[in-house]
A and B are shown apart, each in its own frame.
Chain A
């Protein structure tokens, strides 16, 4: 995210699109994702949803760090996070990254994500497609 002193995510106008679930013809891929639903089409997350909110607050702290210590301070932190997230494994089902948890400061807490983090869909049907998604090809 860009350096900014935003405290909470900005409220954006709500949009929906078929892009994420589309097949090569540009239409919704029913075979893979099931019938077309609003849930799959919603592009905008709620602005107070956990992930976006945490990201915004984190960005605020990094921006303040940049203003106080210089560009190197947040750069080093982000570099460490990226090193630790670089996972060469293929997408297995249970994935725990203790190093990332420590860096993000959630190694000593139990959150909803720890209790409810089961796999969203079943065993990987198409490993190549998962890898494509992961490496954003």
Chain B
């Protein structure tokens, strides 16, 4: 596996997918960087593979786009031959095969999630080496390392759609606030049997958590309000 080549565009990222009773919610931040330059601050990392199957991309932008393109191409052929929508497992398997067989040249972490008739909602995580793991929820990208604890502590089975959306939103906001390669806005997709609903949360409407406070030197700093009513100085006697 190669690290990113010099000058290559990096999807250093926070991506996430969670399954709930009737579907899946997938979400991602929107930042693409080339070194310290943000090449695109409104990226759409949620890529269409099929009508009810999407993938979240992290890692090298070029690598993941190439894999997603071929995955889409392959699933179109499958649909023609089978006459019906492919299952999420089929989509995840083809992405995994491509990631594994090219593993020495790729740097791509992908989460495939969607809904199909046979298995219902499913989430498949394909991390860097090209393994395939089915999980009820999966996070990926550089920002995910900061939120494993939050996700483990918060996730409950049996949630409905709104709670899952809130979970994804909060997790991504926390990841974006700590990871330098994640930021911008949150893009989410809710995939159910009836369709795909896209949600967009701009940067100024992100959920906010503890934002930090400068504690050093607080004891000697006078609060602002007290400064205007300084009372230990007597007014100067003025002769008219």
Closest chain-A Cβ to B190's Cβ sits at a distance in Å of 30
State how many angstroms separate the Cβ of B46 from the closest Cβ of chain A.
22
Other-chain contact of B102, A5, A64, A65, A69 (Cβ < 8 Å): A5
Min CB gap B105→A, angstroms: 6
* Known interface pairs A60-B70, A64-B73; A6-B78 also in contact (CB < 8 Å): no
Complex CA gap A5/B74 in Å reads: 11
Residue from B78, B81, B101, B105 in contact with A5 in the complex, judged by beta carbons closer than 8 Å: B101
B104 near A69: Cβ-Cβ < 8 Å: no
A10 within 8 A of B: yes
Hey, which chain B residues are within 8 Å of A69, CB to CB?
77, 81
Q: Chain A, interface size: which category? A: 10 to 19
Residue of A whose beta carbon sits closest to that of B100:
A5
B101 touches A6 (CB 8 A): yes
A4 adjacent to chain B (CB < 8 Å): yes
The answer, yes or no, to whether B66 is at the interface (CB within 8 Å) is yes
Pair B81/A68 contact, Cβ less than 8 Å: yes
Residues of A near B81 (CB, < 8 A) are 68-69
Cα–Cα, bound, A5→B97 (Å): 7
Would you list which residues of chain B between 92 and 119 have a CB under 8 Å from chain A? 97-98, 101-102, 104-105
Which A residues are in CB contact (< 8 Å) with B102? Answer: 5-8
CA distance A12 to B97 in the complex (A): 21
Let me know if B176 is at the binding interface, CB within 8 A.
no
Task: Determine if B67 and A7 form an interchain contact, defined as CB atoms under 8 angstroms apart.
Answer: yes
Interface mask (B76-90 → A, CB under 8 Å = 1, otherwise 0)? 011001000000000
Q: Which of B67, B74, B78, B81 has the most CB of A within 10 A?
A: B74
Contact assessment for A68 and B98 in the assembled complex, using a CB-CB cutoff below 8 Å: no
Say yes or no: is A11 at the interface (Cβ < 8 Å to chain B).
yes
20 additional A-B pairs beyond A11-B104, A11-B105, beta carbons within 8 Å, are: A4-B101, A5-B97, A6-B102, A7-B66, A7-B67, A7-B70, A7-B98, A7-B102, A8-B102, A10-B104, A10-B105, A60-B70, A64-B73, A64-B77, A67-B74, A68-B77, A68-B78, A68-B81, A69-B77, A69-B81
Can you list 15 contacts pairing A with B, beta carbon distance less than 8 Å? A5-B98, A5-B101, A5-B102, A7-B67, A7-B102, A10-B104, A10-B105, A11-B105, A60-B70, A64-B73, A65-B77, A68-B77, A68-B78, A69-B77, A69-B81
